[in-house]
A and B are shown apart, each in its own frame.
Chain A
Amino acid sequence: MSTPSTASGRRPQRTRLMQGLAAGLAGGVVFGAAMSDLGEALPAIVSTQGGDFTLIGLCLHLLAAAVIGLILAALTRGEAIGSGEMIFWGVAYGALWWLLGALTLLPVLRGDVPTWGLPGLQAAFPSLLGHLAYGATAGAVLAALAGPAQGRASRGAVVRGGLAGFASGGFFLVALAPGGANVAMGLVGLRPALVLTVGTGVGVVYSLLYPRPRGSLGTGLIRGFAYGFLAWLVVAMTLIPVLAGDGLPWELAEARARAASLPALLLAGVFLVGIYRMLTGLVGALFEDNPADLSDEGVGTRALRGLGRGAIGGLVGGLLFTIVIAEVGDFERIAGLASGSSMVLGFLVHVLIAILLGASYGVLFRHENRTPDAALGWGVAYGLLWWVLGGVTLLPLLLGGQPAWTAAGQAAALPSLIGHLAYGAGLGLTLAWLERRSNPWWTAHTAARARRSELRRAEFARTAPGLWAMTVVITIVVLTLVVGS
Chain B
Amino acid sequence: MTGAVAGLLAGAVVASVWAIQLPTAGLAIDPAALSGSGLLVWLLVAAIPGALIALLGMHDRERATPSLTVARGLLVGILWWAAWPLTLAPLFLGRAPTWSGPAIDAASAALVANLLQGALVGVLCSLFINRHPPGPQQPSVARRLPRILVLGGGFAGVAAVQRLDSAGRRDRRNDVTLVSASNYLLFTPMLPEVAAGGIHPEHVSAPIRAACPRTRFVHGHVRSIDLARRLVSVGSGERTIELAYDQLVLALGSEPTYHDLPGLRSHSLPLKTLADAESIRAHVLSCLEEADFDPDASGRPSQLTFCVVGGGFAGVEAIAELRDFVHSVIRYFPSLDRTDARFVLVHSHDRILPELSAALGTFAAKKVSERGIELLLSRRVAAARADALVLRGGDEISTRTIVWTAGNRASRALAPLALEKGRDGAIRVESTLRSSTAGNVWAAGDCAAVPDGSGGLHPPTAQHAIREGRHLADNLVAVLDGRAPVPFQFRTVGMLAAIGSRSGVAEFRGWRFSGALAWALWRMVYLSKLPGLEKRARVAIDWWLDLWFPREIVLTREPPSVLDTGTPDAGGAAAGRSGPP
Instruction: Name A's B-contacting residues (CB within 8 A).
Output: 1, 75-76, 78-79, 81, 89, 92, 96, 99-100, 103-104, 113-114, 116-118, 121, 298, 300-301, 304-305, 308, 323-324, 327-328, 371-373, 376-377, 380, 411, 414-415, 417-419, 421-422, 425, 437, 440, 442-443, 445, 457, 460-461, 464-466, 468-469, 471-472, 475-476, 479, 482-485
Contacts and interface: CB of A to CB of B under 8 A. Distances in A.
Contacts of B25: 116
B62 A117 contact: no
Interface of A is mostly: helix
Interface in B444-481: none
Interface of B: 21-22, 25, 56-57, 59-63, 65-68, 70-72, 74-79, 82-83, 86-87, 96-101, 104-105, 108-109, 111-113, 115-116, 119, 137, 168-169, 213-214, 532-534, 537
A483 B104 contact: yes
B82 A418 contact: yes
Interface of B is mostly: helix
B67 A484 contact: no
14 contacts: A75-B67, A79-B67, A117-B108, A301-B534, A371-B59, A373-B68, A380-B78, A443-B169, A443-B214, A461-B65, A465-B72, A466-B71, A472-B77, A479-B108
Q: Of A78, A114, A308, A418, which is in contact with the most chain B CB atoms at under 10 Å from its CB?
A: A418
B169 A371 contact: no
Contacts of A308: 533
B99 A415 contact: yes
B100 A466 contact: no
Q: Of A460, A461, A485, which is in contact with the most chain B CB atoms at under 10 Å from its CB?
A: A461
Nearest to B96: A327
Given A1-B63, A99-B119, A324-B99, 4 more contacts: A117-B105, A465-B68, A472-B77, A472-B115
B217 to A, nearest CB: 12
Nearest to A457: B62
Given A414-B101, A415-B99, A468-B74, A301 B109 contact: no
B119 A96 contact: yes
Given A116-B109, A469-B74, A300 B104 contact: no
A441 to B, nearest CB: 9
B56 A376 contact: yes
Given A304-B537, A465-B71, A468-B71, A103 B112 contact: yes
Given A81-B67, A373-B56, A421-B79, A414 B115 contact: no
Nearest to A307: B533
Please name the 5 residue pairs, one residue from A and one from B, whose CB atoms are nearest each other, closest first.
A465-B71, A116-B109, A415-B99, A118-B108, A465-B67
B101 A411 contact: yes
Contacts of B115: 96, 99, 472, 476
Given A76-B66, A376-B75, A475-B78, A300 B22 contact: no
A482 B74 CA distance: 21
B470 to A, nearest CB: 16
A192 to B, nearest CB: 36
B75 A327 contact: no
Contacts of B104: 118, 414, 479, 483
B66 A100 contact: no
Given A371-B60, A437-B169, A99 B112 contact: yes
A442 B137 contact: yes
Contact of A327 (B97, B214, B534): B97
Contact of A371 (B62, B86, B87, B98): B62
A422 B97 CA distance: 14
B131 to A, nearest CB: 11
Nearest to B78: A472
Contacts of A113: 21-22
